[in-house]
Amino acid sequence: MKDYDNNLKAIIENLNSLQAGSPKLKSELQQEVEKLYHEKEYFAGFFREAPVGNIIIDTGYRIKEVNNTTSRLLGKERNTLLGMDFLQLFDDGYHTIFNNFMEEIQLGKIDIDCDLKLEKKDGSIFIRLFAKPFSGIDRDDTLFQIIFFDVSKEKKLEQNLMEETRESRSNERLNSALAAGKKQKGKSSNEILSQLTVLVTDDDEIARIYLSKLLKGKCKKILFAQNGKEAVEQYQSNGHIDLVLMDVKMPVMDGYTATIKIKELNKNSIIIAQTAYALASDKEKALAAGCNDYLAKPLMKQDLFSVIEKFFK
């Protein structure tokens, strides 16, 4: 953010020094000031409100900015992280993985993720990260926004599942009996999802990519909307949508208003609100608008599938 402040001050000084006979140049500089103010407020708000780890690095992987969630997840003070080589946070064995990941990002493949193991004083955690490039104030200066969150619980569940699978192979008859028992209890999450058309509504591109990764190959069909207005239009134009994942805070039309309008179209529609920080006020407003349930962002795979089973099993 300091770079923004310095550039703003420099441009303002240039504006003040212009002669009255230079209206065109003065107008162009005023437009640049407005643009920089807009960008500064956007990034300041993003970092302040983001419920997940949020880092900006340069092409040399030097950390330029972090948010409070990042400091908490990494167990380090913000001032300690600024200027640090991002790779220093991980064992050498993960450096190649991250380098390959960033090469893909620079080629324009932003619909991918990367899992890394982070060693901390109080133990280790697994983080899953997404990244996308953008231009800094100096157009030749490429920066990368990295968003990540702790997936240690998910990794632990996967590990437990693998161990259980290995144990079950020693007794095929028991495994078959358990599988038969599960079928009698009801459909699995994957069986349920394979029959659903899901509308993902979120103005954040990273959030849409993440949900796409969770649902891709599992759902009958996935649709996307970037704001509430698009969500209502998608619901009207598509013959059948089984589930709507609705972010509550979006531009153009928020999720509360969109939920009310969709419920007017179909009172039996299933709408799950996505609320940052899981604030009580957001939950109450979402339910009052007609949402059937709510989940805190970032959505965890097991929580999302559990809610889907709740309404469709």
Q: Spell out the domains of the chain, with CATH numbers in brackets.
A: 2-153 (3.30.450.20), 186-312 (3.40.50.2300)
Residue 58's φ and ψ, nearest 5 degrees, are -95, -175
Report the pLDDT value the prediction gives residue 184, as an integer from 0 to 100.
Answer: 46
pLDDT: which is higher, 155 or 118: 118
| Beta-carbon contacts of residue 206 (< 8 Å; ≥ 6 apart) | 130, 132, 147
Residue 222's φ and ψ, nearest 5 degrees, are -120, 130
Q: What percent of the chain has pLDDT over 70?
A: 69
What is the DSSP secondary-structure string of 160-204?
HHHHHHHHHTT-HHHHHHHHHHHHHH---HHHHHTT-EEEEE-S-
Q: Count CB atoms within 10 A of the CB of residue 14.
A: 14
DSSP run (H or E) holding 89: none
Q: Count CB atoms within 10 A of the CB of residue 92.
A: 7
| Beta-carbon contacts of residue 119 (< 8 Å; ≥ 6 apart) | 90, 91
Q: Count CB atoms within 10 A of the CB of residue 71.
A: 16
pTM (whole model) above 0.85: no
> What value does the mean pLDDT take over residues 149-159?
70
Distances from the Cα of 157 to the Cα of 151, 154, 178, 302, angstroms: 10, 5, 19, 9
Per mean pLDDT, which of 50-54, 113-117, 122-126, 304-308 is the most reliable? 304-308
Give 33-68 pLDDT, tens digit per residue. 666 656 555 555 545 555 578 889 999 999 998 888
pLDDT: which is higher, 174 or 36: 36
| Beta-carbon contacts of residue 151 (< 8 Å; ≥ 6 apart) | 115, 126, 127, 128
